[in-house]
Amino acid sequence: MKILVCMKQVPQKDAPLKLNESGAWIREDVSYEVNEPDAYALEEALRQKEKHGGEVVVITSGPTRAGQVLREALAKGADRAIHLEDNAFVGLDAFNTARAFAEAIKDEKFDLIFTGLQSDDYGYAQTGVVLAELLGWPHATIIMQIEKTDGGIQVKRELEAGYFQFVDMPLPAVLTIQSGINKLRYATLIGIKQAKNKPLRKVTLAEVQAVLGPNLQKIEKLYVPQKTKNTEFLQGPAAEVAKQLVEKLRNEVRVL
Amino acid sequence: MSSILVVVEQREGKLNRVSLETLAAGQALAADTGWTLEAAVVGNGVSGVAGEIAGQKLARVYAIESAKLEPYTPDAFAAALKQLLETKQPKLVLMPHTYQVRDFIPKLATSLGRTVISDCIAYKKDGDKLVFTRQMFQGKLAADVSFTCDAPWFVTFQNGAFRADKVEAGASAAAIETVNPAIADGVIRNRPQEVFKEAKQAVDLTQADIIVSVGRGIKEQKNVELAKQLAEALGGEIAASRPICDAGWLPMDRQIGSSGQTVAPKLYLALGISGAIQHIVGMKGSRAIVAINKDSEAPIFEIADYAVVGNLFDIVPPLIEEVKKAKG
């Protein structure tokens, strides 16, 4: 099976974020990491390839720094990478990002496209499904298991509150992958070495510009959310804080 | 006349209660904009749900019926709703941000050349312009987002963003219009099987008065023991955020959040939990929330009643001792 994995670089989970001058985005001088569900999507693609053969291709969009996500993926075992490289890609909405990806892969023939179920930065949870619609492919979201069948694949969808559902579907298809579908591997030293010789195709903004339209939605303002609760901060040495907290639990929360 | 359409969710002919929150949002928006409020329910055999919704304060309910809409598939739902939207042309289309809606609404919007502002927690009316607030960067920041395209504008609201008990009943039952969409053979490509629950859930955390919950800050599997000791001292249950269960450090049935259990105990003590949205939606109804986290900017502190910025490994051991002392 030939599988494309859409990956995104996002600010690290505990990175302190500051607003930039525009007030509509963050200052970009923070540490980045791969969007967590995308790491699981890559791992699943590698496992499918190990079982059924084929090829794993990874794609991302973003400035030069985003290439790190692709290098890590190549080191873990992806065969080649596509980087839509331009700072402007950071500001695209899900519709435009999907259009750019569709354009960048128009000469390829994939059986499956994986994305993480959502990104840790925007959290729109849309790009994968939008891409499926643009390609005219079926899709399934929040996937916890994938088995090849005679006519296509059978996937296990996670529903809410502990429910699941198996869905049979034809190929090609787009799947959005849930964290925890598998156990992530680490890149090996030899993998890191081999990654340097794997093909990485760069796509400029100009190459996909023709299919992009104006964004359909716009961030007017980004800000630190207003606290809705009166939070009481307990301070002091650990032993002291423990005492204070127990007093609160006894006298205010009344659970002791 | 401009209108707002709320698409409510049903399963096996039963209304998903989170839909009432979306109706409350729709009623508030209708009052602010002067637009007409309508609702739609999609499925096969939905007249019961349509009737239930028609009792609320709104102008009309569309019962979108077809044998092809059961079981749910994104292909059939998007096709059916697309037909309704093209005929009725509402300005604003509201849905709850459920797993099912997430599965089909980006497809539906894309098929109309439109976009979804997803997982919103509030809206503002700025002159003539509607702005929707959503959390970003795992809840660390909030964004006000507007549409820069023509209607229909698609918005999904986060679970708990509006209050279901704020829905106003109508003076009289609204008219129900049954719509039978044409869904051609071949439109539906997925073949879903029965919905099932994995192993029987061993623990029902919804019944616990006290929950001690651990997140990534617990660092290693062996440290979960420390949290268990605290839970035991307090007479509560141990629970976790998703990454801990994904790693297998605690079983999946101990997971709190959108993909796990939703709880509202008397005390929720969060150890090393940053407070990603997916976790918060599962516990924000707790009566008292205590958060211990070393990152002072962790979103969990936004909803905590008592907060300790510090290393949980320093604080939990003396806390266990103090709890034991207090309990005698």
Helix (H, G, I), strand (E, B) or coil at B194: strand
Gap between the Cα atoms of B81 and B100, Å rounded = 14
B106–A133: do the CB atoms touch at under 8 Å? Answer: yes
**Two tokens at B188?**
């539906």
Q: Across the interface, which of B102, B307, B319 has its CB nearest the CB of A232?
A: B307
- Read off the pLDDT of residues A207-217 as tens digits, 9 standing for 90 and up: 999 999 999 99
Percent of chain B with pLDDT over 90: 84
Tell me the CATH number for domain B205-327.
3.40.50.1220
Gap between the Cα atoms of B58 and B263, Å rounded = 31
Gap between the Cα atoms of A188 and A173, Å rounded = 30
**Two tokens at B108?**
């539906």
- Sheet of strand A2-6: strand arrangement: A200-203, A80-85, A55-62, A2-6, A112-116, A173-177, A139-148, A152-158, A163-170, B191-197
What is residue B139's predicted lDDT score, i.e. its pLDDT?
Answer: 86
Gap between the Cα atoms of B102 and A138, Å rounded = 15
Residue B292 pairs in a beta bridge with: B271, B308
B115–A245: do the CB atoms touch at under 8 Å? Answer: no
H-type helices in B47-144, by residue range? 47-54, 74-88, 99-111
Residue B204 has pLDDT above 90, yes or no: no
In the chain, the amino acid numbered B19 is S
Cis, bond preceding B96 (omega within 30 deg of 0): no
Residue A50 to residues A184, B220, B247, Cα–Cα distance (Å): 14, 30, 22
A-chain residues near B114 (CB < 8 A) = 216
Gap between the Cα atoms of B249 and A100, Å rounded = 39
Q: Which residues of chain A have pLDDT under 70?
A: none
> Could you tell me whether strands A232-233 and A217-223 are parallel, antiparallel, or unpaired per DSSP bridges?
unpaired
**Two tokens at A159?**
């529903």
B136–A222: do the CB atoms touch at under 8 Å? Answer: yes
**Two tokens at B324?**
């034991």
What is residue B197's predicted lDDT score, i.e. its pLDDT?
Answer: 84
CATH topology for A2-211 is Rossmann fold (3.40.50)
**Two tokens at B69?**
């809409």
Gap between the Cα atoms of B192 and B100, Å rounded = 13
SS3 track for A63-130: CHHHHHHHHHHHHHCCCEEEEEECHHHHHCCHHHHHHHHHHHCCCCCCCEEEEECCCCCCCCCCHHHH
Q: Across the interface, which of A221, A239, A246 has its CB nearest the CB of B144?
A: A221
Confidence of residue B278 (pLDDT cuts 50, 70, 90): confident
Residue B200 has pLDDT above 80, yes or no: no
Judged by a CB distance cut-off of 8 A, whether residue A184 touches chain B is no
Q: Across the interface, which of B136, B258, B267 has its CB nearest the CB of A249?
A: B267
Q: What is the ipTM of this complex?
A: 0.92
Judged by a CB distance cut-off of 8 A, whether residue A30 touches chain B is no
DSSP notation for chain A:
-EEEEE--EEE-TTPPP-B-TTSSSB-S-S-EEE-HHHHHHHHHHHHHHHHH--EEEEEEEESGGGHHHHHHHHHHT--EEEEEE-GGGGG--HHHHHHHHHHHTTT---SEEEEESS-SSS----HHHHHHHHHT--EEEEEEEEEE-SSEEEEEEE-GGGEEEEEEEESSEEEEEPTTSS-PPPPPHHHHHHHTTS-EEEE-HHHHGGG----SEEEEEEEPPPP-S-PEEP-SSHHHHHHHHHHHHHHTS---
List the single residue in A with minimal CA-CA distance to B119.
A124
A-chain residues near B277 (CB < 8 A) = 123
B-chain residues near A236 (CB < 8 A) = none
Please state the rounded mean pLDDT for residues B42-66.
97
> Could you tell me whether strands B288-293 and B267-271 are parallel, antiparallel, or unpaired per DSSP bridges?
parallel
- Read off the pLDDT of residues B160-186 as tens digits, 9 standing for 90 and up: 899 999 999 999 999 999 999 999 999
Gap between the Cα atoms of B1 and B37, Å rounded = 11
> Could you tell me whether strands B129-136 and B141-147 are parallel, antiparallel, or unpaired per DSSP bridges?
antiparallel
Confidence of residue B198 (pLDDT cuts 50, 70, 90): confident
∠ CA A104-A108-A114, rounded to 5°: 75
CATH topology for B3-179 is Rossmann fold (3.40.50)
**Two tokens at B215?**
């997140």
Judged by a CB distance cut-off of 8 A, whether residue A33 touches chain B is no
A255–B267: do the CB atoms touch at under 8 Å? Answer: yes
What is residue B159's predicted lDDT score, i.e. its pLDDT?
Answer: 87
Residue B315 has pLDDT above 80, yes or no: yes
B-chain residues near A157 (CB < 8 A) = 192
B110–A166: do the CB atoms touch at under 8 Å? Answer: no
What is residue B297's predicted lDDT score, i.e. its pLDDT?
Answer: 87
Scanning the structure block, which residue is given the tokens 């309704």? Answer: B84
Residue B184 to residues A25, A80, A151, B237, Cα–Cα distance (Å): 44, 40, 21, 51
Structural contact between residues B59 and B36, judged by C-beta atoms closer than 8 angstroms: yes
What are the residue boundaries of the structural domains of chain A, listed by start?
A: 2-211
Mean pLDDT of chain B: 94
Cα of A113 to nearest chain B Cα, Å? 16
List the single residue in A with minimal CA-CA distance to B299.
A225
Q: Which of B324, B316, B306 is nearest to B268 (CA)?
A: B306
A121–B136: do the CB atoms touch at under 8 Å? Answer: yes
Confidence of residue B199 (pLDDT cuts 50, 70, 90): low
What is residue A225's predicted lDDT score, i.e. its pLDDT?
Answer: 85
What are the residue boundaries of the structural domains of chain B, listed by start?
A: 3-179, 205-327
What is residue A176's predicted lDDT score, i.e. its pLDDT?
Answer: 98
List the single residue in B with minimal CA-CA distance to A18.
B141
Helix (H, G, I), strand (E, B) or coil at B33: helix
Residue B200's Cβ-count burial label (10 Å; 0-12, 13-18, 19+) is exposed
Residue A204's Cβ-count burial label (10 Å; 0-12, 13-18, 19+) is exposed
Residue B260 has pLDDT above 90, yes or no: no
Cis, bond preceding A172 (omega within 30 deg of 0): yes
Residue B258 has pLDDT above 90, yes or no: no
- Read off the pLDDT of residues B115-164 as tens digits, 9 standing for 90 and up: 999 999 999 998 889 999 999 998 889 999 999 999 999 999 998 899 99
Measured distance between the N- and C-terminal CA atoms of chain A, rounded to whole angstroms: 58
